[in-house]
Amino acid sequence: MNRSLKNKGNDLLGLTQPEMQAAINKILPEVPAYRSKQIYTWLYTRRAQHFSEMTQLPATLRSELERHFTIGTIMLTQKSVSTDGTIKFLFKLADGFEIESVLIPSEMRDAKGESRRKTLCLSTQVGCPLDCKFCATASMKLKRNLTVAEIILQFFEVERLTGEKITNIVYMGMGEPMLNYDNVVCSLKILTDPELDIIGGKRITVSTSGLPDEIRKFAHEKLGVKLALSLHATTDELRSKLMPINRAHPIKELLSAMDEYYKETGIPVTYEYILFDGLNDKEADAKRLARITRRLPSKVNVIPFHRIDFTNPIGMGAELHPASETNFIRFNSLLKSEGVQVMVRSSSGEDIEAACGQLALSKLPHPIAIAV
């Protein structure tokens, strides 16, 4: 179904219930609070795309809402399906920019052969400014932050387009979530609102490259979601080469912030670790990583490196290679022998450039739009 994209002027989608009531009453002061709550439910639980669908409301109110407000949209422009069932969605935003979201089926199956878990990888920015050498999104640079509505709409649209119930969300797509802090937090408050019954906080993970002030602030939001740190190296020298943000926020500072997150929330954390051939796959690396994990309850997601040759990387990015299968297995065995809880991340979607680190609009049939 083709739908025209709506602009963000007076958009009610993306507002919390108190914000929605205030926005409506600013223009329509006579609307009582219970009506605002009904609108809130229509938008997020029933996923209304037009005010005319809100049949619980008086016709006159629906007409007034249509006149003064909008319900934001994003539009699917391309879908790529992997041989392993992973689906990559290319969405166009109202200003012409585009983002990617990825639906990843679990390898675990129920008695009917259906995937038990369906995880949606959400984007939070158009592009990213952090220039991590292993990440394709870095090639796009940063265009802008996504709005709250644009973050939530990825979830709504993927469920609508596939007819699938999404069981888990990871904020691990394009962009650094902590650099779009307010909008990410607001999206989490809406998605985990118990009155809406969309998804529980325990089924959401937010991944960060490492902004300690934001991590500490995030700890006090009481959102009940999981936090993952993209670590990828156990020495500042190597991590600064792989992730320039480490020059401003070295490992010691990050680990202190992660300690505070656990102390405040009681939620075990995750360390993400991509294995590169000859760089971070030695026994000494495994032992240092094990020491880091002993600071607090945690696990390590060990991730294969997925090539980003399609972005024509230069410098260090062009020199990175995946650890050999032998070294990959050996490294995981070393971690386990040190008592580390290890999860091996699959390469789901690699054949459609949808695997970890590969999101960069690589399949676009036309250039990326530039905002003016």
Beta bridge partners of residue 301, listed in sequence order: 272, 343
* Cβ–Cβ < 8 Å for 98, 91: yes
* Cβ–Cβ < 8 Å for 56, 46: no
Q: Of these residues, 100, 214, 350, 353, which one is catalytic? A: 100
Q: Of these residues, 128, 132, 186, 356, which one is catalytic? A: 356
| Per-residue 3-state assignment (H helix, E strand, C coil) for 296-330 | CCEEEEEEECCCCHHHCCCCHHHHCCECCHHHHHH
Neighbours of 83 (CB within 10 A): 9
Give backbone dihedrals phi and psi of 146, rounded to 5 degrees, phi first. Answer: -80, 150
100: annotated active-site residue: yes
Q: What is the largest CA-CA distance in the chain?
A: 70
DSSP 70: B
- Tell me the pairing of strands 75-81 and 142-145: unpaired
Question: Tokens at residue 216, please?
Answer: 């500490």
* CA distance linking residue 201 with residue 193, whole number of Å: 9
- Give one word for 246, left, alpha or beta, with left for phi > 0 and alpha for psi -120 to 50: alpha
* Cβ–Cβ < 8 Å for 121, 173: yes
Neighbours of 29 (CB within 10 A): 7
Sheet of strand 87-92, all strands in order from the earlier edge strand to the far edge: 75-81, 87-92, 98-105, 118-121, 168-171, 204-208, 226-230, 269-275, 298-304, 342-344
For 93-216, list the strands marked E by DSSP: 98-105, 118-121, 125-127, 142-145, 168-171, 204-208
* Cβ–Cβ < 8 Å for 348, 172: no
Q: To 10 degrees, the CA torsion angle through 299, 305, 310, 315?
A: 100
- State the amino acid at position 151 in one-letter form: I
356: annotated active-site residue: yes
Catalytic residue numbers, as ranges: 100, 356
